[in-house]
Each structure stands twice: as C-alpha cells, then as structure tokens.
Amino acid sequence: MKKIKIVLMSFLLAGVFSCTTEDLNPALDQNKEANGGITNVDNLYAVIKGAYSRMTGSGYYGRDLIVTNEVRTDNCFSNGNSGRFTTQAGFAYSNTTGFFWDDAYRVIESANLIINTDLSQLEGDQEYGLHLQGQAYAIRALAHFDLLKQYGQKHVTGGVTPGGIPYVTTYLSNQSTQEELFPPRNTIEEVRVKLFEDLEMAFNLMEDTGDTNFFSKYAAKALEARVAVYFEMWDTAVDAAEEVIDNGGYAIVPAENYVASFESDGGSNIIFELEFNSTDNLGGNSLGYIYRTTGGGSYGDVQVIDEVADIFEDTDVRGLFDGTNGILGYEGDMLRNIGKYPDNQGYDNVPLLRYEELILNYAEALLNTGGDALTQLNKIPANRGASLYAEATIENILMERRKELMFEGFRFEDLVRTGNDIVKYSIQQNFTETIPYGDSRLAWAIPLAEMDANSSMIQNKGY
C-alpha cells in the first residue's frame, strides 16, 4: 500500500544518538520505528535539534518561504539573474511545485515523535523532558500555521471544502489507522482550534530559558499573538502580547543599533531565531546569496522595486543608504536588500519572532479592541529616526509593518489577511496585472506527488 508523502518520514534513530547533536542529520527518512531508539530524555533533545535543523533548510526558512512571500508583493521582484524565483514572483506555479510541503511535514513528524513519547518510560530529567515536549508543541503549531497560510483556502473565493490542511498529531507506527496513513484536510476552523490548543500546551509545559535558538515559554505566546491576529481574534492577541511584554524582558532595538543588529546573533529584540553557522551554512542556497550579488559572486535574483526607496524618510535608518552600510542600498543601478541577512554564505541566524513584530501585532489588536494603538504603533518609528503617526489606522499599521519587516517574509501575508489585492504598480513586478483578493493563485497547489499518494486529499481551487 502506498503511503502518503506526509508521513513517509519515520526516523532511523538507532546510531544517531551515538553522535553529537551537531552531527544529527534531520533527513534520515527511513521507514522504521524510531520509538525503540529513545530511552533517555536526552534522546529527545537530539530529535528536537533535528526539527530545528529541518526548518533551516533552503526550502523552508533558510530561504524559499521568506523570499517567495516578498517577490509576490510590492517589495521585491525576481530579475531572473540565475533563473530563480521568476515562477513564484509571476504567480505561475503549478501542482508540480511542492515548495516547502514536505519540509514542514517532516518537522511535524519530529515534533509528533517527541509529543507522543511517554516520558515516564525514559531515564533522565522529567522536567526537562516536559520542556522539550513544550517546544515540540510550539514547533508543530508553527509548521501547521505556515502550511495553512500558503496552502489553505481562507482567502480564496469559492475555495474547496474543507479548505484547511491536514493537522497531523500522531507519529506513525505499524498500528496506524487508515486515516492516519491517509489524513484528509481539516477545515480552517479545525486547524485554528488545534493551533491554539498546541500553543497553550507549549506555554504551560515550557520554562523561560532565555535561549533564543529554541522555542521558549514567551516565544510560544508571541507566536500565539501572531496567529490570533491572522484569525482576527483581537482579545486573544492583546492578552498574548501583554503576557510577553509584561514578562519576557525584551526591548525594541534603538535606531543606532538597528542595522548592526542583523549582523549579530541574539539581542534584546530577538524572541526566537533559527541558528545558522559555518558548519551547516547554505552557501549558494542562502538568503544573502539570493538577495545580493556581492560583486557578481552571488545569484542576486531578488531585487527591490525602485519605488520602495520612496516610502522611507531620509532620517529613517531602515531607508536608503549610499552604498553597503544600510538595509537598502544600490548594487550598480539595482536597489537591493543590503542590511538583512548580510552574510551571503548563510551564516546569519534567521529571526522568526522579533519583539518589534509583537509590538505591531499588539497595536493592530488594540486598534480593533478600542485600546491605545497609537502609543504602541509609534514605539517603532520613534526608534528608527522616522516621524511619528498622528493616528492609528490599519493603513498606517500595515505601512509600518512593511517598513520594519521588509525582506523577512511578512508582506504577502499582511496584504492577503487584510483583504488587499496584490497590486501591479511597477513594470518591474513579474506578474502582468493586479491579482485580486480571492484569486485562486493566493494559495499554492497541493503537490501532485501528494495528490497521487493520498486518496483522501482534495486539490485546491484553480489547479
């Protein structure tokens, strides 16, 4: 019987645990039971490291997910220098392109192995084991949320039913049921409920470790605030954001340190980031390599639309600089992301949860609940050398999000979740005309290989 690709990813852990966690290969997708190799809580640490490593791959947060959600917007386009990302930027993708589907479900499989392990049967620190399970719940929520945003039908008019994605919570074994082997799509509402259940478990199980390379208690709350904003659960977003603000000890990076903050790891504004280093660098598949040419030695396909320079004031540290010392700069006559992910070999850590984003989520939630959104909104430009806003509106919040989070993969989601069209306003954009809100191209196709393997799967509208 042919199994669904989602779950063809049991890990051969025997032998892995004799290695260091740095040697862990997260791609050991062998059709073999893993549970027998887990005898100690420390073994779960190796599995969680594997899940984080999977997320750093170029097909996921190492490059593609972030870049695709920039080149489909009013921020960037693909100039086709090496032939990369023109398909995504032109909204010309099809069901033969899997994107990060497999990567995300492999991350989920690792998380499920940890969550479904009976800690009472393991040697070692049980409290630490609970903390690791809390991380696994947060990872599982993040991966499913990413899948929902890219493959779900929430913003597609007349989309398929059910329009969510399979929310996988079991680790496969020889005793797995037919539905576990061939999971159907959940509804969007079912996915929403499961996301918040996982995030609540994550918060309750984890400690506040202060290690930004791993999910922590308040990182789970920061992710909860992001998810709540996406679903317009404004009271929940306010509560989650305030939990982080009141207890997390984070701070907005001041203007004088803003550009430099992307050249270093950690920092007062980092809630959670994925670790990259010279040992597991992505080289030519890294974010820096696709954003810049660095004298012609990199791909440099992702170019900034010329008009983007006009949205920044001259005093704004996020704006246009005269060379290579800022966020925006020119390489020849091409406007580039110069400052974020500056190492073209991919040694830079990739922040997934920054305090500045949390504050903007908080401002948007306050705007929708009658709170003081303006004070929160103005905390960002006040620390960037930019003019303060006279009024908190959704337009102003979205503009500030665009300025602050540019090149980090938020813009496409921000436009779609607020019901905006993807406007064709520059000849440089790869698509030929405005993509209206509700268009089927706002969601990716379920990969053809998945459709062939899983008789329960329903393809998205338009594919």
What total number of domains does the chain contain? 1
> Distance between CA 451 and CA 61 in Å, rounded?
24
Range of the structural domain that residue 455 is part of? 1-60+100-207+433-463
Q: Is 154 among the domain residues?
A: yes
Which pLDDT belongs to residue 50? 95
Q: Is 178 among the domain residues?
A: yes
Which pLDDT belongs to residue 446? 97
Digit-coded pLDDT (tens) for 357-395: 999 999 999 999 999 999 999 999 999 999 999 999 999
Which pLDDT belongs to residue 325? 54
Rounded to 5 degrees, what are φ and ψ at 297? -90, 5
Which pLDDT belongs to residue 324? 44
Strands annotated E in 285-436: 302-304, 328-331, 334-337, 350-354
- pTM value is 0.93
Q: Is 127 among the domain residues?
A: yes
Q: Is 240 among the domain residues?
A: no
What lies within 8 Å, CB to CB, of 272 at 6+ separation is 212, 214, 215, 216, 219, 222, 223, 351, 352, 353
Tokens of 187: 């509804």
Q: Is 152 among the domain residues?
A: yes
Q: Is 47 among the domain residues?
A: yes
| DSSP class per residue in 27-74 | T-B-SS--GGG--BHHHHHHHHHHHHHHHTSTTTTTTHHHHHHHHTTT
Digit-coded pLDDT (tens) for 231-264: 999 999 999 999 999 998 999 999 999 999 999 9
User: 3-state class of 435 per DSSP?
Assistant: strand
> Distance between CA 386 and CA 71 in Å, rounded?
26
217-230 helix and 234-247 helix, angle to the nearest 10 degrees = 160
Q: Is 35 among the domain residues?
A: yes
Which pLDDT belongs to residue 28? 31
Which pLDDT belongs to residue 270? 98
Tokens of 441: 């191209």
Dihedral sign of CA atoms 383, 385, 388, 389 in order = negative
> Distance between CA 111 and CA 25 in Å, rounded?
15
Tokens of 19: 């290695």
Which pLDDT belongs to residue 13? 39
| DSSP class per residue in 274-326 | E---SSS--GGGSHHHHH--TTTTS---EEE-GGGGGGS-TT-TTSB-SSSSS
Which pLDDT belongs to residue 23? 30
Kindly give the parts of the chain with pLDDT less than 50.
1-33, 323-324
What are the C-alpha distances in Å from 39 to residues 43, 175, 342, 353, 410? 7, 21, 41, 33, 40
Contact 353, 272 (CB under 8 A): yes
Q: Is 131 among the domain residues?
A: yes
Which pLDDT belongs to residue 120? 96
**CATH number of the domain encompassing residue 192:** 1.25.40.890
Nearest to 227 by CA among 200, 261, 266: 200
